[in-house]
Structure 1
Amino acid sequence: MGIKRALVSVSDKTGIVEFCRELSSLGVEIISTGGTKNLLAQEGVPVIGISDVTGFPEILDGRVKTLHPAVHSGLLAIRDSEEHQRQMQELGLDYIDMVVVNLYPFQETIAKPDVEYEDAIENIDIGGPTMLRSAAKNHAFVSVVVDAADYGSVIEEIRGGGDTTLETRKRLAAKVFRHTAAYDTLISDYLSNVMGDPLPERFSVTYEKIQDLRYGENPHQKAAFYRKPLAPAGTLTTAEQLHGKELSYNNINDANAALQIVKEFDEPTVVAVKHMNPCGVGIGTNVLEAYQKAYNADPTSIFGGIVAANRTIDAPTADLLKEIFLEIILAPDFTPEALEILTKKKNIRLLKMGEFGSAKERQSTLAVTTIEGGMIVQESDVHSLDVADLKVVTDREPTEEELKQLLFGWKVVKHVKSNAIVLAADNMTVGVGAGQMNRVGSARIAVEQAGEKAKGAILASDAFFPMGDTVELAAKAGITAIIQPGGSIKDEESIKAANEHGIAMVFTGVRHFKH
């Protein structure tokens, strides 16, 4: 049949003049609206106004212009239906063979920090999605282009045969429905948030692909990396990779785990992560000291791991980092000297994150976990504690230094897979027990890892002690203070054991399960 008429109306005018000029040179009649029509006419591209097609003026400040039978019959008519042909002829209507539309910039509008509600609403496109959906539904006969990246290939097909192939029209139609679904999701999400309803009766999500990944958790699994349309700065989805191989699926998971831990701290902090659990966390007066503590926390497990810092990596720190095999180093930035040192290692991935912001200013987001046949959604765990929030439940109160270490351990243990136990001393982790089926099992692992460093250390537990055995184990290891949520029916058993061994214990009243 060939493409004879195209309706063009775009907000993002990138490449549109060149595309329409090519269409016109191939004998395609261009119909357009508003600013797009004015631009094409200004650039010398032959163009017909939409009012000349509908016989009706654009009204209500342009809100109504393409919502007309002359437009949608031209898009929706089934070309090989005798009845549709008869009706089109009787009414004097013409077919429209192509739609080129992109939508009002709703995402860009709501991304503005000072956006007004009325401005957001005004940037909800109505006519555009309607034309796109009409054309996409009738893709057996109509070509629909919503992405400027497709202009070139579409022109090549028309130039070669006068029309696009059915396969191309199907591909373009699928892209349209993905596009309009994402657009509607952004609108519903915005309005739900305005109304304070983050968990509505229907929950839609939309993400943009960043890249395909070589494979998933294992080589036989396909995978890709996606970003939320309004992803905040200081996240992996907005990071700048300065050096190294592409990130893998496991890299991304581990790096995100490291990033979430290091964001807990405002002091210079370095975190080492292996298999999504911290193997070493250290606070120092500077990034070098913090890294030395994180490394010394577990020199074995850090090998092949991910390191995250909340300060710029400098040359002295880079000199130490290059001495071991690491998958990723992520930090707000790297000095030129540090980059020169680290980029000599061909495969190490260096991620520049930008500034993280204050730990206390962290905002909760919605975390989505898929299950077979559905998903579960919850707020992210950004709960924090101060000394005033702690309840001392033992005869002995913790010393000022113990309180400091208890709060440090508490920030770390929330990021360790449950059942979780963290031992800490001198602003560094000395033992981590993760993911065991019982709490005393996690405690044994942490104590064994700490060895002599357990003496004088504190113990942090993500959930309460169901009995006193963990306290007894801690006492034998020389631990002097414990932080835990409390709330067990056997709390008194643990408190009694702590008093018998002179251990100070505080309750938080909050647990940090992480599954």
Structure 2
Amino acid sequence: MRRALISVSDKTGVIEFAQGLVAQGIEIISTGGTKKTLDEAGVPTISIDEVTGFPEMMDGRVKTLHPKIHGGLLGRRDLATHMSEMKEHQISPIDFVCVNLYPFKETILKPEVTEEQAIENIDIGGPSMLRSAAKNFASVTVVVDPQDYEQVLATLEQTGDTSLTTRKKLAAKVFRHTAAYDALIATYLTEIVEEETPETLTLSYDLKQTLRYGENSHQKAAFYKEAIPTAFSIASAVQQHGKELSYNNIKDADAALRIIREFTEPTVVALKHMNPCGIGTGETIFDAYNYAYEADPVSIFGGIIVLNREVDLATAQKMHQLFLEIIIAPSYSEEAFALLSEKKNLRLLTLDFSSKNQEAKPETVSVIGGLLLQEQDVIEEIPTEWKCVTTRQPSHEELAALAFAWKAVKHVKSNAIVVANQHQTLGIGAGQMNRVGSVKLAVEQAGVRISEAVLASDAYFPMGDSVEYAAEHGIKAIVQPGGSIKDQESIDMANKYGIAMVFTEIRHFRH
């Protein structure tokens, strides 16, 4: 008689699966809570200790780690020596394994979980059985995901057995599952001991969705989310309306969320192609949207909008006039959602903004053949502690505008220049190969609005030409990191034109 070993923490569908196996003449071995569940449902089972001759011990830590279990899983049916050894030691083959693991992930996600509770939810016997069964996929069918129960039963009913191809696919799934499980445990313990640069980087991500295509239509792509979710992230946003997000949508949305978490006052970020095209703050979200829109009413077309307050009807009516790809907000009023959802392709997402200040995890960037890992650029900065290096000091209003511009410029692709006032970006120069080129773009975009504007540069000015160009076009104050060997040249140029210039001593390159 063929045998199946069933031991699951997730009992979803397990009764029906076991009943289906029994209907095919398969004998069930089971353990602990799973056995109790099956027995109560009238499914005949054999206990593990009947097979091993040993009782479960050490609070269940030791029950399946036994030659009569692993021998039954690993013994090769095509080798006479294996079969004779199994017969000599009274080891019966186990042909099916249905196991899922202690809920380690669910445990560590609980508030106030203790280290002891986490450790007790590290499964040892489960992964061992899964790996043994998966290694011997030539003869053993191993199921780790309840979603595969129906497929296995259907095949058994139709043909009496599973195919080698099916067993191999299920085995591959097992090794992915146990690898991810171990990666979570490794990450948890690594964080506890505060190891910053482990010799091996173990990451675990779950598939969120397959994408229609990647950056371009000829590139395949998929979206994976962290196994331990980051609450304030595009991966945790809930889509309420509209067509599926694309690869570029997801990248742009991520960039917009990084910007808006800088602000506490009502703020709207409009973004295109990984760069902000307009950032506005105001007394209300309606005012903030108007400032963001007026910052660049041309580029906002087809962009992504993120708001850090509920979308009201007045703001929705303004946005409804434009073609937009995505709107992300904490919530929408009933009237605002009804209006915006009239556009069937407009993606409307909600996100928990209360979690935006949670500890930022390191970020990864892939390169050919490797992965870069770094802390996120979330350093706290205090404008009142910046160093003024010019004769003229910035006014209170200018300092507020410089602080706003500095928050914006750190999220613009380098070389980055932002021209702004207290409430909105006016001109943005991004991604130029020389800094004065970015200055010219930002100044040109600001146009006549530059008369009361300030300028922020993500890195130091290598010479005085950028300062001179800005001064000649009406800039009254500048914020930059400083640190160039030619800082004095820029300082002298600022003094020549009566510009106030402050150094932050912190650079914000974004490549």
| TM-score, length basis structure 1 | 0.98
How big is the shift at 1:91?
Answer: 1.3
Cα deviation, 1:459-500, whole Å, max 9, x if unaligned, reads 001001111111001101100000000000000000111011
The answer for the alignment partner of 1:128 in structure 2 is: 126
Equivalent residue runs for 1:157-168 within 5 Å: 157-168=155-166
The answer for the alignment partner of 2:303 in structure 1 is: 305
Q: Is the 8 A contact 1:362 1:382 kept in 2?
A: no
Matched, 1:427 2:423: yes
Structure 1, 231-240 or 488-497: larger mean CA deviation: 231-240
1:228 to 226, 229, 234: 226
Equivalent residue runs for 1:169-208 within 5 Å: 169-208=167-206
Matched, 1:8 2:6: yes
Cα deviation, 1:231-271, whole Å, max 9, x if unaligned, reads 12232111111111100000000111111111110000000
Distance in 2 between residues matched to 1:198 and 1:163, nearest whole Å? 49
The answer for the alignment partner of 1:46 in structure 2 is: 44
Distance in 1 between residues matched to 2:403 and 2:56, nearest whole Å? 64
Matched, 1:93 2:103: no
Letter in 1 for 2:35: K
Structure 1: 4+ residue segments shifted above 4 A: none
Matched, 1:296 2:289: no
Distance in 1 between residues matched to 2:505 and 2:329, nearest whole Å? 33
- Structure 1 alignment gaps of length 5 or more: none
Equivalent residue runs for 1:371-390 within 5 Å: 371-390=367-386
Q: Is the 8 A contact 2:107 2:118 kept in 1?
A: yes
2:401 to 394, 402, 405: 405
Distance in 2 between residues matched to 1:365 and 1:496, nearest whole Å? 41
How big is the shift at 1:357?
Answer: 4.1
How big is the shift at 1:449?
Answer: 0.5
Q: Is the 8 A contact 1:282 1:294 kept in 2?
A: yes
Letter in 1 for 2:457: S
Q: Is the 8 A contact 2:231 2:355 kept in 1?
A: no
Distance in 2 between residues matched to 1:446 and 1:380, nearest whole Å? 26
Equivalent residue runs for 1:466-481 within 5 Å: 466-481=462-477
Equivalent residue runs for 1:321-360 within 5 Å: 321-357=319-355
The answer for the alignment partner of 1:218 in structure 2 is: 216
The answer for the alignment partner of 1:24 in structure 2 is: 22
Distance in 2 between residues matched to 1:137 and 1:168, nearest whole Å? 14
Cα deviation, 1:390-430, whole Å, max 9, x if unaligned, reads 11111111000111110100101000000000000131000
The answer for the alignment partner of 1:154 in structure 2 is: 152
Distance in 1 between residues matched to 2:429 and 2:130, nearest whole Å? 55
Distance in 2 between residues matched to 1:322 and 1:484, nearest whole Å? 38
Structure 1 residue matching 2:277: 3-state secondary structure: strand
Cα deviation, 1:200-222, whole Å, max 9, x if unaligned, reads 11001110001100000001100
2:138 to 137, 140, 147: 140
**Distance verdict in 2 for CA 1:356–1:438, change over 3 Å:** farther
Q: Is the 8 A contact 2:272 2:300 kept in 1?
A: yes
How big is the shift at 1:362?
Answer: 4.4
| TM-score, length basis structure 2 | 0.99
Letter in 1 for 2:97: V
Structure 1 residue matching 2:70: 3-state secondary structure: helix
Q: Is the 8 A contact 2:461 2:484 kept in 1?
A: yes
Equivalent residue runs for 1:31-110 within 5 Å: 31-110=29-108
Structure 2 residue matching 1:184: 3-state secondary structure: helix
Structure 1 residue matching 2:452: 3-state secondary structure: coil
Distance in 1 between residues matched to 2:33 and 2:286, nearest whole Å? 56
The answer for the alignment partner of 1:492 in structure 2 is: 488
Distance in 2 between residues matched to 1:409 and 1:387, nearest whole Å? 11
Letter in 2 for 1:320: K
**Distance verdict in 2 for CA 1:265–1:120, change over 3 Å:** same
In angstroms, what is the RMSD of aligned CA positions?
0.9
Letter in 2 for 1:301: S
Letter in 2 for 1:189: T
The answer for the alignment partner of 1:363 in structure 2 is: 359
Distance in 1 between residues matched to 2:355 and 2:154, nearest whole Å? 48
Matched, 1:113 2:126: no
- Structure 2 alignment gaps of length 5 or more: none
How big is the shift at 1:69?
Answer: 0.2
The answer for the alignment partner of 1:451 in structure 2 is: 447
Cα deviation, 1:152-195, whole Å, max 9, x if unaligned, reads 01100111112111111011001000000000000000001111
How big is the shift at 1:13?
Answer: 0.7
Equivalent residue runs for 1:263-302 within 5 Å: 263-302=261-300
Cα deviation, 1:289-321, whole Å, max 9, x if unaligned, reads 000000000000000110000001010000000
Distance in 2 between residues matched to 1:454 and 1:387, nearest whole Å? 22
The answer for the alignment partner of 2:235 in structure 1 is: 237
